[in-house]
Structure 1
Amino acid sequence: MNKLHYSLEEIPPVLLAFLALMLLIQGTWMFQDARKRDRFPWLWGLWGITSLPGPLLIYWLIVIRTDRKRQAGSKKNR
């Protein structure tokens, strides 16, 4: 078999459990943070459990970064 492809039998169960735990933590955190910010929590939470770390980076760019810019702009206008 090609060295770049692995079957599930070749991957240690501890690594699979760690990956599942990290995906669950990421999805849960994204859901809770999006709910706090009122920004489509179910979308972000479900997408957060699909892969690592892509959804988290995009969430940071779209939601967190824009909220920080908006808050900084509102403080300047006061």
Structure 2
Amino acid sequence: MKEDISTLPLWLLVLLCILVLLQGAWLFRNARSRDLGKMAWFWGLWGSISLPVPLLLYWLIVIRRDYRKN
């Protein structure tokens, strides 16, 4: 049976919205602290529209690269 977003409980929708916004804010702040320049905006905006793909790709592309340098 296929469910659409209108059948989800309100508390779950609110929780998902909060998680997506927190993810976008965290990605933006972390990218700025790593001096990624304009890419910080990209990560923040992308993180604010979907969950969890931007976070996983950020880890693979940015964070793992920094650990490999050390």
Structure 1 alignment gaps of length 5 or more: 73-78
The higher radius of gyration belongs to 1
Q: Which runs of 4+ in 1 moved over 6 A?
A: none
User: Matched residues in 2 for 1:22 and 1:28: separation?
Assistant: 10
Mapping of 1:1-78 within 5 angstroms?
3-8=1-6, 10-39=7-36, 40-70=39-69, 72=70
**1:4 partner SS:** coil
What is the root-mean-square deviation of aligned Cα atoms in Å? 1.0
User: Matched residues in 2 for 1:11 and 1:25: separation?
Assistant: 21
Q: Percent identity?
A: 49
Q: Which structure is richer in relative contact order (CA contacts within 8 A, separation 6 or more)?
A: 2
Structure 2 alignment gaps of length 5 or more: none
Aligned length: 68
1:5 offset after TM fit, Å? 2.8
1:67 offset after TM fit, Å? 1.0
